[in-house]
Every structure is written in structure tokens, then in C-alpha cells.
Homo-oligomer: A and B are copies of this chain.
Amino acid sequence: MQLFLECLPCLLRQVLEAARMATSDVDVQSDIMDEAVRLLAGYRSYSCAPMICEAMHKIVKEQSGVEDPYAQIKERDIGQALKLEPLLKDFALREGDALRLALKVAATGNIMDSALYQNLDIAACLKAELEKPFAISDLEDFKDEIEGAGQILIIGDNAGEVVFDKILAEYLAPEHQIIFAVRDAAIINDATVGDARRAGMQHYAGIISTGCRAPGAIYELCSPEFQDVFDKADVVISKGQGNYEALSDPSRQVYFLLKAKCPRIAQTLNVAVNEYVFKRIGG
């Protein structure tokens, strides 16, 4: 998906956030912003937001010497999500369509990177979010698709969200082989292999790296091993906005599971901001 003009200030705001997390040295923060703005001036040479986002956060890592500025945030998010796991399980086990409930839990995990930052009452907020229906749901197609499917690939998003994805993986695991793919290196608060393990995903899925270091699985930048899994999996579920931006024109059928958090992303999906989407694209 193209880079929107709205992405430019948003990318810059996020780099400053990362710079502040990586270092308290204001000179280094300034140097990071200098380089980031210069890089941003060449935004037209990047095909999607996750690609320029990776380049900008590389500046943060190089200038600060900190490989994972969001390490503490991710640890906090995973810890908080694990505490909320009983609540998620209760919701998933309530009466109703068990697959829809599991998908809704996984989609709702998408709030973990914003809700916690704002010091909201996360349990109350989470309960309300879980109750929100999907604005778009290709659930019936998905049900047909997973009937007899062998391998299901889930491409993960942020670190805390993995605990939510685990509920979906647990539901699907008895009948299918689940592969859970994550970023190849630390980038903002997205899950890496280590984060996915800390969230406990290994109990239900094989964890692999996409080979891509951007906050979205840009197919061309993924490893041949991941590309092979992506091409051959019977069903692919892509979590979050970053993967949607990276994979919006997929070479195969992909189910996108996300909360539309930004107005422009919402617009491309024809939903309102904050609505939940489970949508099949491509193939």
C-alpha cells in the first residue's frame, strides 16, 4: 500500500518517541531527528510506510547504540497481557460461535500498543473492546477455507498482542498446524521470536521469523524460507495495520485481522476509525 501524506508527521512523531526511549541524551535525540527528517525528505522512494519506518528506526538504533528501544515497553505489555489472559479465556469460552470469539480476541489484541500507553483501565477497556462486533467479517469464507486445511500461517504484530493471538492459535491447533511469524529484529513494539516465546506462543505454534525487519511483512524483503511458508500455507492470517500496509496487494489469498486505528487505513477498508475488520483479500 502506498505511503499516505498523513504518514509523514506520524512517522516523525514515532521516531521521536523511539529516540526518547533509547536515550536521555538530548544531543543524540537531536542528531536522530536531524537524520530522520533528512531521510523523510526522500519518502517518495519508499513503496510503503513500514519500509520507510524501518529505515527511520535504524537511525535510532545506530545513533543511540540501543538495539531494542521498546524492550521494556514490550516486556510490560506482554506481562500485562498475560495477567489479562483469564479474562480473554472467559470471553473465548462463552456461549456463541467459538471461532468468531477466538478471532475477536486476536483482533482485540491490536489495542495493546495504544491502550496501555494512555494509562487506561485496561481490563474495563478490554471488556468493552471485546464486545465490539466486526464491521467487516469474512468469517463464513474463512470457515470454508480452514475445513481440512493443514498449515495455517499467522503473521503477528505487536508484542503484547501475541498473548491474544495465542487464544486463536490454541483454538485452531488441534485440527491444524499453526505457524506464527514475527519480525526478524526489534522494531518499535512489534513481536520478535523472543517476544513471542515470552508470550508463550510456542505451546500452540511453530514460531518463525519473516526475515523482514520492517514493522510489516513486505514480501520482497522476507526470507526465502518465510516466502515459501507464505506461498504454501493453506490459510494465511495477517494481524494489524503494519502487515496490512505491507501485504495489501498480496500474491495469494490473505485474511487480514485488525483494528483500523488510523483514518487513512480505515478509509481503504471503508470502515470507521476504531472498527474491527476480518477481511479476505487477494487470491
Which residues of chain B have C-beta atoms less than 8 A from A6's C-beta? 16
**Residue A217 is within 8 A (CB to CB) of chain B in the complex:** no
Question: What is the interface of chain A mostly: helix, strand, loop, or mixed?
Answer: helix
Contact A13 B5, beta carbon cutoff 8 Å:
no
**Residue A29 is within 8 A (CB to CB) of chain B in the complex:** yes
Chain A stretch 35-66: residues in CB contact (< 8 A) with chain B:
37-38, 40-41, 43-44
**Residue A72 is within 8 A (CB to CB) of chain B in the complex:** no
Copies in the complex: 2
Which residues of chain B have C-beta atoms less than 8 A from A236's C-beta? none
Interface residues of A, count at CB 8 A: 19
**Residue A12 is within 8 A (CB to CB) of chain B in the complex:** yes
Which residues of chain B have C-beta atoms less than 8 A from A38's C-beta? 41
Which residues of chain B have C-beta atoms less than 8 A from A10's C-beta? 9
Minimum CB–CB distance from A28 to chain B (whole Å) comes to: 11
What is the CA–CA distance of A37 and B44 in the complex, to the nearest angstrom?
A: 11
Minimum CB–CB distance from A19 to chain B (whole Å) comes to: 8
Taking a contact as CB atoms closer than 8 A, the residue among B9, B34, B43 that contacts A9 in the complex is B9
Contact A16 B12, beta carbon cutoff 8 Å:
no
* Residue in B closest to A20 when the chains form the complex, CB atoms: B5
Taking a contact as CB atoms closer than 8 A, the residue among B16, B33, B40 that contacts A37 in the complex is B40
Minimum CB–CB distance from A5 to chain B (whole Å) comes to: 5
Known: A5-B29, A40-B41. 11 other contacts (CB 8 A): A5-B16, A5-B33, A6-B16, A8-B33, A8-B37, A9-B10, A9-B12, A9-B16, A37-B41, A38-B41, A40-B40
